[in-house]
Structure 1
Amino acid sequence: MNQRTVIGLDIGRSAVKAVAYAEGKKYPLSFASAVSLAIPITLEQAAVAAELETVTVNGKDYFTGETARLQGGATMSAGLSDDWIRGDEYKALVMSAMKRLGVLCVPGLADPYVVVGTPAALFAHQREELEKVTQSIVKGEVKALSQPLGAYLSFLLDADGLPLKDNIRSANGRTKSWAVIDVGHFTTDFLLMRENTYIESKAASCEGMNVATDHLMKTLTGKGYKVSLLDCEQALQTRTIFHFGEKDISAEVEAALSHVAARITAKATALLASDAASLDGILLAGGGAMIMKDRLHADWQNVKMVERPRMAVAEGYCRYGKSVQLKRSMAESKEPAHV
């Protein structure tokens, strides 16, 4: 029976999300996608805390996550470019995720089955390179999928990697159709599965929540606030900023969110308006799902959020990996015995 450890790994530009499954147990993980060159830390307690979040890539030590933000002075999330998988930042985040899973005592990390992904618009020309780069770090088998497909699979498959029949077919046997809008930090990704068939022309990406972060930072800087991009990312959720005391910036946040929401809505309309009414649902995923839900639902009443939208891509990747392992186990059990 195939018992290989499975890891769904969503290396986002705002946060790294991972879901590992091994020996009947699930291990979720999330940390900020911040990376900086490591510096010496003299205080023992702080040094011990930083060691967990320190990795070595190409002979250089890097802080990741909160240590990068606090000790390394990282002022923004990593990898806000199309080719970031070629750089040390991506490798550092993958390595950090694997190190943290090791600390969680996840078994089978020496040879796991790992599923990773890219934005929809980059998938075709980055898939092979992404698999190669990731495999050089995880040392296991690596499969790349598009990010919105991961969100779709979190909805299509159950926790054991088996198809959820009610999400695939209607009571009268009709094969259902779904769209996905995955609102991430770097990109918002779109996917259309017409009768469970991938529609190539509808796979696309547009701006993500970083546009709102940039807009908010420019607005606050213009008002004399000294803030970083990471401060502004957090402010999109809290609607406050700390500047000589905590300040309410609800109006500025709403203006920034409306700015990016208008772009996402325009792209969604261009891609899906002709299909929306005939779909069983439009699934929202990603860290910005809650922000977009009401805005999109005003036009399309079949918009619905997937469960735990921020973790949906990693969860879907893990469920896909479990499905692959299940199929392999079934194939092994059918092989004739050798005398």
Structure 2
Amino acid sequence: MPRYYIKPIFWNTNDYTKPSGAKAVSGYPKEHGYGHEEWNNAPNMLFTERGIRFRAFHTESLGNAPVEDYDGQIFLFMTASHDGIQQLVGVAGKATCLISDSRRSEREQLVKRLNIDQHWQDAWELEKVRDLHGENIKKFKNSWEQDLNWIPNWKSPEDYFFWPQIPVTIDPIKITGKKRLLNMFGSYTEIDSRAAIRLMASVPMSLRTDEWSYIQQDIDASFEDSNADIEDIKEASSVALTTKQALIDARIGQGKFRQSLLENWQNICAVTRCDQPQVLRASHIKPWSVCSNSERLNSRNGLLLVANLDALFDRGLISFRSNGEMMVSKTISSFTRDLLRLPKNLIRPPTSEEDAFLDYHRNHVFVEE
């Protein structure tokens, strides 16, 4: 199963093709005047392996995250904090981590193959770098060569490496529910596929490329995290057996949770009035991953929707106002709106309890543009 991480990297104003001299307040960039990630988008960081084009790139370590067990299954969302904002600067899909000591030889081979040593001149041309090394080029090059193998410590297929032409300012509350994303280079945040989808949706249509589409399709294909959630429920020692079964049923949209939703919505889709039970999904309003167990079992935290609307709702591409009016994300094309005949309102206004959950969805899940 894929793993999704948000990883802070050092800010750069040269499209990450060479160091730009941005202000650093901590870590390696503060000590040396540049960061190893400042070549992440450099043209020469591409190579071919077993007939597949890859890009080598850099981040700091992900600590105790089990990255070594997930070669080719990691999706890394690289963010940079500067001037009071936080931006998505790149996404590496199907990535493999080369950080461990056991893969040092692989990194060293990439250094030679990609002629990474030549980039010392990019760093040395910065006044800040020269000042920090006392204008002593020998001292600088000793430091440079010592850390050189650390630059290519990740690889990702070129088709799954998305670097938008313009960094995308993001709203952390809509992604993680918190006011700010972590910004220390040594930190990271693991997220679920829903948050990954919201991050991808934050990219304006004008910046989306083929690489964006390939990554989006892969995340969509693995969107259902129910199996992992069910395993977590089974292993929870503090939860009674009867509650465990109810939670499992609720997670897969079955059992009492589904039955109560059918009663709440008179056995029809809450929007289209479709009454074919095989295509009706019992969908949580407030995402499962941020719910308490009681919220997960509460049928007022649910909508009965046909499959296509369920998919749009889960991904934050539609939501509903307190009066039942549908909100449609601007990221949905006019063609798709016409095809699905959007917007369509709820068949009745939500109850006060349903609207409390919808309020969370409107503010933390819905992707307006």
Give the TM-score taking structure 2 as reference length: 0.28
Instruction: Give the structure with the higher percent strand.
Output: 1
> Higher relative CO (CA 8 A, sep ≥ 6), structure 1 or 2?
1
Query: Max radius of gyration: which structure?
Result: 2
